[in-house]
Amino acid sequence: MLAKSMLTKSMLAKSAFLRACRCLPTEQVPVWFMRQAGRSLPEYRELRGEGSMLETIACPEVATEITLQPVRRYGVDAAILYSDIMVPVHAIGFGVDIVPGVGPVVAQPFRTAKDLQRLRPLEPTEDTSYVLQTVTNLVAELAKLHVPLIAFAGAPFTVASYLVEGGPSRTHARTKSLMCSNPQLFCALLDRLGDLAIASISSQLTAGASAFQLFDSWVGTLTVDQYRRFVLPTSKRVFAELKQQHLDAPGIHFGVGTGELLSLLAAAGADVVGVDWRVQLNDARQRLGNNVAVQGNLDPALLLAEWPVVAKQATDVLARNKGQPGHIFNLGHGVLPETDPAILEQLVGLVHGYRYAP
């Protein structure tokens, strides 16, 4: 534990990303991209081939290389583990697959209280040992570059939406129906998934990751009252327990369409709140206050435009932060597969070279 603490302090001193997570001043704005190790990279497509994503994640050597690819190519300030939010529920045998072109698909969706028995506790050293090996590999390689690794897991609500719907959904109708018609069962489901998130992220941090992100991608489908009543208690517990176990590791909370929920995402205990492109960064700052860092928030679709358009929009995002410490440049969601990697390379250079006018 002492060696890990000393490493964390050393990394904090050298990492603009970790300093920004703590709202500390940095010489340049740190940047990384959600889904930076993804289908937009030709080297990723060549290495991944046509096999199952879950099989690729279960191969530490390949997952390590995929995670490192964007760090080498783009020079980003943080690496995020190549994995998926459904890995824990897959690992405990709930019956999840990731279908190309579709996303997570559940063979037998969650329907009744009996299905809670299918959500046994995660034992990371046994169930996801391949993830821990990948983290160990990455920490050793990234230390040479002074680049921290971000651990992650799916937030309880978002994972629950896949388990209840049986796959991706535009309306989340079954999820909302269960939530409102049987709140006791729904909250029990979130509690089980909260336990999985805590166990998964904690194991990644223990293996050497320096920060973590909780992805609540689809929570923006809820009203403020629904979020406060059904989601906030479990998300709050996830952050609280992780902070108790890993005091030095900053936590990021991210969701899509969460403009009205930003203050609640912070209230869950996040050090950093990810902001999607629907809310201007200066407005997000006002809603969150000065003690919470922000991450975002260029529209990923704009990266398909010509460079002058991308540069103008990215500069606008940077300018809206007005030089306030605690800004991590990112997209408002993940990198789209059709994105030209050369645009991302230029974007990293622009962000690193940006300086606020005195």
Residue 185 has a CB neighbour count (10 Å cut-off) of 17
Count of H-run helices and E-run strands, the chain: 17, 9
Cα separation, 318 vs 279, whole angstroms? 14
Q: What are phi and psi of 325, to 5 degrees?
A: -60, 150
Closest residue by Cα to residue 330 from 258, 274, 257, 265? 274
- Among this protein's residues, is 73 annotated catalytic? no
Query: Is 174 an active-site residue?
Result: no
7 to each of 13, 23, 78, 348, how far by Cα in Å? 10, 20, 16, 26
Q: Which residue stretches of the chain are H helix? A: 2-14, 16-21, 42-48, 53-57, 60-74, 87-91, 124-127, 129-143, 156-165, 173-181, 183-206, 224-226, 232-245, 262-267, 281-288, 307-320, 341-353
Q: CA torsion 7→12→16→17, rounded to 10°? A: 80
What sign does the dihedral 284-216-188-160 (CA atoms) show? positive
Catalytic residue list contains 35: yes
Q: Is 162 a catalytic residue?
A: yes
Residue of 44, 74, 82, 162 marked active site: 162
Cβ neighbour number for residue 171 with a 10 Å cutoff: 9
- For residue 257, the one-letter residue type is G
Catalytic-residue membership of 44: no
Catalytic residue among 22, 35, 174, 278: 35
Q: Beta strands 272-274 and 149-154: pairing type?
A: unpaired
Residue 303 tokens read as 């990266």
Choose the catalytic residue: 39, 174, 229, 278. 39
**Which is the catalytic residue, given 19, 44, 48, 237?**
48
Q: Looking at 77, 84, 127, 276, which residue is catalytic?
A: 84
Rounded to a whole number of angstroms, the distance between the first and last alpha carbons of the chain is: 42
Catalytic (active-site) positions: 35, 39, 48, 84, 162
